[in-house]
Amino acid sequence: MKKILIAGAGGAPTEGVIFSLLKNSDNYIVGMGSEPTDLILSKAHKKYYIPYANTAEYKDRLLEILNREKPDLVHFQNDLEIYHASLIREDIKATGTKIFMPEHSVIDTCVHKYKSYQAFTDAGIVVPKNIVINTEDDLKEAFEKLSDRVGKIWLRDSGIGGGGKGALPTSDYNLAKAWIDHYEGWGEFIAAEMLTSRTVTWLSIWHRGKLVVAQARAREGWTHGSRAISGVTGVTKVGVTVSDEKISKVAISAIEAISDKPHGIFGVDMAYDSKGVPNPTEINISRFFTTVRFFTEAGVNFPEIFKKLALDEHPKIEMGTINPLKDNLMWVRAMDVEPKLVAKRNIESEIIF
């Protein structure tokens, strides 16, 4: 039996990983998290409270849990914790627990969006032009140089965090200025050219520079997107499996722009421009996306593959497998409702129109 410590227990991103690992009865899951009301919802066998990763108490508590439980592997599921845990990776490994993540410089580049943008542009990858907003003059320049045909730009917080953190599409300079003021975000926000609402994610696992497995998934809307000013919540409402060589090529180029020897999980988020070209907007590093259970239910268990690689076991998949799942499988989600896997062609057979 393998014991695995999973961070962020009780939250949707982590519970998808736990669900997948529990498909194999040989796994014993220890969950930890910073929200007690999330923890009580977790399917982990045992649960620990831990302070937030950016607090002084985090390191000692993490090492205490590791020394007490002696897990074979520890895995983190949000950018903040990944970043801070990466900084103390040698202390973690000294407990005898394995980790499976790239070097810290790769993590640092991926969790800071402007650094990712610079890496993409240096590699000649097509991406929307970005400007760091340090001053009001920068914001004025962004509207002059980046706005689309209706005058809109895309603002977002370039720091650590997901879920469309601080995102705002706007053609109103005064609103943009007030938005940055509200977040005290001067020097932290970036402005970018607008892309279309058509988005796709390419989830992949790499091992010592070699691609192990990857699967593309298009997004057809965000859960509660109408309640966010940006329309983006970071929570996919409907995911659909797709296979497109162009998506894979762009994703691999983006990953190789960040790391010359990829190792661990790389999830490339892309949005299409008006010419139909997928532009990488960020790489979700060292973590699975919220709907990873989708792939498990469809037949490819990414967390189990990840675990086996981390523990030097052979995953039951051919190295370099890309898009092993059938196209047009849909994963449909809503709050407090069990998600459902369905073939897109079968929707009409279940619904009276």
- Do 267 and 202 meet the contact criterion of CB atoms below 8 Å apart? yes
**Range among 195-199, 234-238, 293-297, 346-350 with highest mean pLDDT value:** 293-297
> How many residues does the structure list for the chain?
353
Q: Which range, of 36-40, 110-114, 157-161, 195-199, averages the lowest pLDDT?
A: 157-161
pLDDT at 344 over 80: no
Query: Which conformational region is residue 187 in: left (phi greater than 0), alpha (psi within -120 to 50 degrees), or beta?
Result: left
Count CB atoms within 10 A of the CB of residue 221: 15
pLDDT at 228 over 50: no
Burial 57-68 (b: 16+ CB within 10 A, else e): ebbebbbebbee
Q: How confident is the model at residue 294 (pLDDT cuts 50, 70, 90)?
A: very high
> Residue 257 has what pLDDT?
98
- Do 323 and 217 meet the contact criterion of CB atoms below 8 Å apart? no
The residues, any chain, with a CB within 8 Å of residue 348's CB and separated by 6 or more, are none
For residue 163, the SS3 value is: coil
User: What does the alpha-carbon distance between residue 199 and residue 216 come to, in Å, rounded to a whole number?
Assistant: 11
> Residue 347 has what pLDDT?
64
Which amino acid is it at 208?
R
**Closest residue by Cα to residue 306 from 170, 175, 181, 207:** 207
Phi, psi of 44 (to 5 degrees): -60, 150
Where do the CATH 3.40.50.20 domains begin and end in the chain? Answer: 2-99
Q: How confident is the model at residue 230 (pLDDT cuts 50, 70, 90)?
A: very low
pTM of the model: 0.92
Where do the CATH 3.30.1490 domains begin and end in the chain? Answer: 129-192
> Residue 233 has what pLDDT?
47
- Do 112 and 150 meet the contact criterion of CB atoms below 8 Å apart? no
User: What does the alpha-carbon distance between residue 86 and residue 198 come to, in Å, rounded to a whole number?
Assistant: 33
Residue 282: strand pairing partners: 269
Q: How confident is the model at residue 219 (pLDDT cuts 50, 70, 90)?
A: confident
Where do the CATH 3.30.470.20 domains begin and end in the chain? Answer: 199-350
For residue 81, the SS3 value is: helix
Name the architecture of domain 129-192. Answer: 2-Layer Sandwich (3.30)
> Residue 166 has what pLDDT?
80
CATH entry 3.30.470.20 includes domain 199-350: yes
Name the architecture of domain 2-99. Answer: 3-Layer(aba) Sandwich (3.40)
User: What does the alpha-carbon distance between residue 176 and residue 154 come to, in Å, rounded to a whole number?
Assistant: 10
User: What does the alpha-carbon distance between residue 55 and residue 161 come to, in Å, rounded to a whole number?
Assistant: 16
> Residue 350 has what pLDDT?
64
Mean pLDDT of 147-152: 81
